[in-house]
Amino acid sequence: KNKIDEKIISINQIEDRIFDVLVKDKVLENEIIKARENLGNNTLASFNSVFQREYAKIMREVADKQGNLPDDMKSIDKVKELSLRTQNRYRQYLYNSLENNIEDDKEI
């Protein structure tokens, strides 16, 4: 697993790390695609649970390593903002990968 090497002074430093974990989580991707097909919407309940799990992991790691957390990592509002930003990036990633799959199918 990728460990945190730098001193974390802001919640913004962990966004890419959480996003990378989400992108690699194929179970999550399949759940979201299935939910979209079955429910016809962009339900992201699965996204939220994976985000919270990964955020909690990173929070513990930062606290263990540094002995404290940056103030914005303790702020519910800042965590919500990070979740929304990451969710938007993830949606864009899914949209792009689905578009690419459709393009690939057309070429066959």
| pLDDT per position as a tens digit, 60-80 | 999 999 999 999 999 999 999
Domain holding 29, by residue range, is 14-107
Angstrom CA distances, 80 to 37, 51, 85, 93, 108, stand at: 27, 11, 9, 20, 42
pTM: 0.79
Report yes or no on 74 lying in a domain.
yes
Residue 8, in any domain of the structure: no
* pLDDT, tens digit (0-9, with 9 covering 90-100), for 36-64: 777 666 566 778 888 999 999 999 999 99
Within a domain: 6: no
Measured at the alpha carbon of residue 86, what is the angle toward residues 81 and 89, in degrees to the nearest 5?
Answer: 130
CA 40 to each of CA 32, 33, 37, 46, 93: distance values in angstroms, whole numbers, following the listed order: 11, 10, 5, 15, 18
Q: Considering the domain boundaries, does residue 4 fall inside one?
A: no
Q: Is the residue at 7 inside a domain?
A: no
Please give the tally of structural domains in the chain. Answer: 1
Instruction: Check pLDDT > 80 for residue 92.
Output: yes
